Structure 1
Amino acid sequence: MSRYTSREWLPHEKPNLPGSPSTPLHPTPKRLAFGIVGLLVALTGGLGNSLVVANLQFLQGSLGATAAEMAWLPAAYVMTNVSMNLLLVKFRQQFGLRTFTELFLVLYALVTFGHLFVNDLGSAIAVRAAHGMVGAALSSLGLYYMIQAFPAKWRLKALVLGLGTSQLALPLARVFSEDLLQIAEWRGLYLFELGMALLTLGCVFMLKLPPGDRFKTFEPLDFLIFAILATGIALLCAVLSLGRIDWWLEADWIGWASAGAIVLILGGLAVEHNRSNPMLMTRWLGSGVAIRLALAVILTRMVLSEQSTGAVGLLQVLNMGQEQMRTLYVVMLCGAVAGLAVSAWTINPEHLFMPLIIALALMAVGSAMDSFSSNLTRPANMYLSQFLLGFGGTFFLGPTMVLGMRHVLTNPRNLVSFSVLFGICNNLGGLIGAALLGTFQIVREKYHSSMIVEHLTLMDPLVQARVSSAAASYLSSVADPALRATLGTRALATAATREANVMAYNDVFMLICIIAVLTMLWIFVRSLWLMSTTRAVQTTATPTVSTSGASTS
């Protein structure tokens, strides 16, 4: 890499990594301003998509779309968000992160503003794609702003806060998004999203990050590799997002997209592997360190899918509305904030495995508690379990990031690869979790439904009494006895389906608990092995002190 800008930095100002800003000393008011802007930037990066995810059912009616079509909205966000991580690190090394952010914030604001006048699915997908691109930059930008807000001795705490703030977006969106819908239906969401984008853009222009070193990093082949890998990742995201809706083995496009994703991703990595100056360090990505890090992040993100896919899905099956679940969303948000605060307060670079074990243990306990749900379960019954899951979800994130950063600091060439790996695992972990748990829930619902229906026969007096009781409830509105009997049978079938769904969600919660426990045991065994090998190396390396008192003559 050839340097674009060069200057001598004081020891406390020197950027930690290529492409990051310098860290000069700031007065306290300016540090506070950096912290506020960092919080705003990080929330803006995730809040727009979270507002859509939290209100897909309401937006579906407004846009006149099917469930499969609506699934393209969060899928478009993940597609562009993951792909832009491939270019973002090199872009900020060569041109600066602020240039990238300002450019795409303006694009994001323009697309969002245009969607207010065009009420169709295509423009909504375009907004989500634009938000995915700018969201990739905003997550890094929020992290850098937060680092400026803290002195050097607390920089690790700033890293945790800057990284974890974006995780608060989804529970925060669930708390107040219904009020936005009441203002102007779907336009209320997009007006708020546009306002956040414009506010963030103004703050970024007014309070600029300190400069950093810039290097010439891009090569012409980088853009070809980006096009290949981005297309492959986009196909993979589409398959994971819509597979359980169009169903994995029934839609032809899923097979073609899966094959295309495999060919494109492997082909792009093969070209990268043989380049003299690759964009991705494939040898590091194939190392045990990178594979273990990716697996830990993916498994933990899958466990965290219990909140969005499991608990919320169960309560919706039980006909709980947004207003009835608002207090539960507040509890989820409080748990996430508490986990983030405790993680920042207690993080210790010498003890990074213990927070991961504690986080997974808390999430396992929360999932196990939810696995005893019934048709009488209400949001109040899930306050404790969801608090534990929210706490664990943000408590694990900082230590995981720091563990990976160790290998970047020893070899800065791994920075792009680490950023891409962490971003992909975070996003795909959520998609894989939703796809796996959603599919598992559907399969188990069919199984439990067949078992329940198998024992429902009108020859059974209890079943006959249940049908008669349901039919009697229509006595005042339906005069035809045959129609009332049909409606009574239909009511019984609806109750059976509800019970099958509840039992299926209990199976989902237990599966999540098992995944969390197994992941926790794996990390615990790995930490014990590392401790034993480290002690063995230290013992071997300790010089032996001679006590014989021999002297040379």
Structure 2
Amino acid sequence: MTDAALSLDRAQRAQALGVPETALTADGEVDWARIFLGFGGMVVGQFMAMLDIQIVNSSLTQIQSGLGASADEISWIQTIYLLAEVITIPLAAYMSKLFGTRLFYVSAVIVFVIASMAVGLAGSYETMIVLRAVQGLAAGAMIPAVFATAMTVFPLDKRVTANVITGLVVTLAPTIGPTLGGWLTDALSWRWLFFINLGPGLLVIFLVGRWGGFDKPDPSLAKGIDWFGLIVMTIFLLTMQYALEEGASEGWFDDDLILWLSVTAAVTGAVFIWRQITYRQPIVSLAPFVNKEFTLGAIMSFIAGASIFGGSFLIPIFLGQVLQYTATQVGTTMLVSGLTMFVSAPICGRVVRSMDLRVSMVFGFGLAAWATALGGRITADWGFYEFAVLQAWRSFGVMMAMIASQQLSVSTLPPHLMKDASGLVNLLRNLGGAVGLAVLSTVLTHQTAVHLADISSAVNFGNLSSQQMLETLTAMMEQRGAADPDGAARKAFGGLLQREAVVLGYGDAFYFLAAGCVLAGAFALLVGPARAQGAVPPPSERR
């Protein structure tokens, strides 16, 4: 038999088995060890990239002190990472097809590890911001590749399991980020938030470099790169992300910079979409959106992203600002989410595999909505138990909804669109997180002001209960030796009112987040009958 015939036989056998040709041994058998080692390395890399989004959350005060940065400046340690990340996420599909998954992924991990070490050694705020941007660019290249590989490397009967793994990473990494970050900062120093990437990074480089040859590069894509589309896309994503991140704190369109950035984002966004539709070789293929199931799944991934990042934003901030928890205490409380996701992942995978995807999504988003709504009754007296109940049920629901929506996105897509679909889903999920954070910040600020006005108008110092409270506070200030006990008491009384308004504002924000989950569940009802790829259909559907 000729070499061409042998090659044809291998290609046909690989297609019949639902695996890439590179996964076959010389005897034509599937080399599962190679697949799992290479894919496992990519999963670890994706986990690192997503972990670094939230790992700094519980340690911003310590980083601020270490670098001598202001309160406004320090928030950019997270913002710049997300800004850089959204640039490379949509480019990842194009670049991995051009260079091949192995070379592109390993190169991204090498840059990520070097940047992580440099961030940990940074001696100034300005240096750290630049290096965090480089780290974010590399992370954005690493995140989408895992999902695309899972959908193209594994046969149908194993794709749900692979999707459970990717879903676990997507939800677990940003959730345990504050936990791990708080422990590392208190035990060692904030610099270890970045040094910790060295060991896993070297492992990923070895595993993917040795066993990650899942596809072949396509050098022809280097001809005719759409540089205009790339520039427009970069401007669009940067201006949109910045406006979303900073809009709430700057009063949105009351600020001239936010207004013009929003206009720029709208114009360049329209130009970018037009360019990708009309150009012969688009850098970001929008073809998957023609598929109804992908579009609906992508919308639900967007809302799920808002839920994941929104919950991870509200709870740690409340614990730190209102309850005055330390970094370790915040991390310990948030650990419930991570443990729940880890334990529930295989359960959710089995459930999603066994039933119509619509049922899984409606149940998952419904459970997440109910659990999140528990936060609407939050008080300053809440302890570990109340937060644990909220996080456990919410995490279980989000995990199921995430796995089901990811499965829906690719349930009817052909293999050649998987890489493009992966980049789009990851981009939309991150944008959902950015939109969610921006909207929640606005809701929190606005509702706190509304509640403070309502409470202040209701307080009357001629009221007996108000007088008693003020007298009690005055007596306390006298015991503490205050120079002006009456003035100090009035100031403390105002602080109590402010605290109560803040707590009520957080309750409204939790209700708003729950409403988003309800909206996602409603979208699931628009989906036609669909089952997870690789699921066994019920007897009534078998031929």
- TM-score higher than 0.5: yes
Structure 2 residue 296 is matched with structure 1 residue 292: yes
For 1:387-398, list aligned pairs within 5 A.
Answer: 387-398=392-403
The aligned counterpart of 2:539 is: none
Q: 1:280/1:182 Cα in 2 relative to 1: closer, same or farther (>3 Å)?
A: closer
What residue number does 2:457 align with? 454
The answer as to whether partners of 1:228 and 1:264 remain within 8 angstroms in 2 is yes
Higher relative contact order (CA 8 A, sep 6+): 2
Asked if residue 230 in structure 1 is aligned to residue 231 in structure 2, the reply is: no
The aligned residue for residue 491 of structure 2 is 490
Q: Are the counterparts in 1 of residues 150 and 162 from structure 2 also a CA contact under 8 Å?
A: yes
What SS does structure 1 have at the residue aligned with 2:477?
coil
Pair 1:462–1:152, CA change in 2 (3 A): closer
Quickly say closer, same or farther: Cα 1:305–1:27, change in 2 above 3 A.
Answer: closer
CA RMSD of aligned residues (A): 3.1
Post-superposition, which runs of at least 4 consecutive aligned residues in structure 1 deviate over 6 A?
15-18, 144-152, 528-531
8 A Cα contact 1:366 1:388, kept in partner = yes
Alignment partner, residue 423 of structure 1: 426
Residue deviations 1:81-101 (CA, integer Å, cap 9, x gap): 222133221222221122112
Task: Give the match's secondary structure for 2:252.
Answer: coil
1:404, distance to aligned residue in structure 2 (A): 1.7
Residue 326 (structure 2) aligned to one of 321, 343, 346: 321
Matches within 5 A, 1:346-495: 346-348=351-353, 351-409=356-414, 412=416, 414-415=417-418, 417-478=420-481, 480=483, 483-495=484-496
- State the Cα deviation string for residues 44-98 of structure 1 (Å, max 9, x = none): 1212232123433332232222333223222222222222133221222221122
2-structure distance, mates of 1:311, 1:326: 11
1:139, 1:166 within 8 Å by CA — same for their partners in 2?
A: no
8 A contact 2:447–2:508 mirrored in 1: yes
Correspondence for 1:64: 68
Which residue does the alignment assign to 2:337? 332
What secondary structure is seen at the aligned counterpart in 1 of 2:411? helix
The residue aligned with 1:246 is 250
User: More displaced, 52-61 or 507-516?
Assistant: 52-61
Counterpart in the other structure of 2:118: 114
Q: What secondary structure does 1:319 align onto?
A: coil
Distance 1:305 1:259, change over 3 A: same
- Structure number with bigger Rg: 1
Per mean C-alpha deviation after superposition, the further-off stretch among 418-427 and 126-135 is: 126-135
Contact 1:363 1:389 in 2 (8 A): yes
Residue identity in the other structure for 1:126: V
Structure 2 stretches lacking a partner, 5+ long: 1-5, 532-543
Match of 1:126 in 2: 130
Q: Secondary structure at the match of 2:414?
A: helix
- Give identity over the alignment, percent: 17
Task: Find the aligned partners of 1:21 and 1:45 in 2 and give their Cα distance.
Answer: 29
Note the C-alpha offset of 1:41. Answer: 2.2
Q: Match for residue 190 of structure 2?
A: 186
CA 1:115–1:371 in structure 2 vs 1: closer, same or farther (change >3 Å)?
closer
- Give the direction of change, closer, same or farther, for the CA distance of 1:48–1:15 in structure 2 (3 Å limit): farther
CA shift in 2, pair 1:294/1:382, >3 Å: same
1:496 Cα deviation from its structure 2 partner: 0.5
Determine the structure 1 residue equivalent to 2:541: none
2-structure distance, mates of 1:294, 1:96: 25
- Contact 1:279 1:416 (C-alpha < 8 Å) held by counterparts: no
In structure 1, how many angstroms separate the alpha carbons of the residues matched to 2:61 and 2:7? 54
Is the contact between residue 53 and residue 78 of structure 2 (CA under 8 Å) also seen in structure 1?
yes
The CA distance in 1 between the partners of 2:293 and 2:30, in whole Å, is: 37
| CA distance in structure 2 between the partners assigned to 1:145 and 1:276 by the alignment | 25
Q: Deviations over 1:248-290 (max 9, x none)?
A: 1343211121111122221122222222343344465477555
Partner of 2:263: 259
Aligned to 1:23: 23
What is the match of residue 540 of structure 1? none
Equivalent residue letter for 2:342: V
Structure 1 residues without counterparts, runs of 5 or longer? 1-5, 532-553
Aligned residues: 519
Q: Secondary structure at the match of 2:377?
A: coil
Pick the aligned partner of 1:198 from 181, 199, 202. Answer: 202
Amino acid at match of 2:401: F
Change (3 A) 1:331 1:155: same
TM-score by length of 2: 0.86
Question: 2:16, 2:83 → 1: CA distance?
Answer: 30
Q: Which residue of 2 aligns with 1:96?
A: 100
Q: Return the alpha-carbon distance in structure 2 between the equivalents of residues 240 and 274 of structure 1.
A: 28
Give the letter aligned to residue 500 of structure 1.
Answer: A
Note closer, same or farther for the CA distance 1:434–1:157 as it changes in structure 2 (3 Å cut): same
Q: Does 1:312 align with 2:301?
A: no
- CA 106–33 in structure 1, closer or farther in 2 if over 3 Å, else same: closer
Residue in structure 2 matching 1:269, options 269, 273, 288: 273
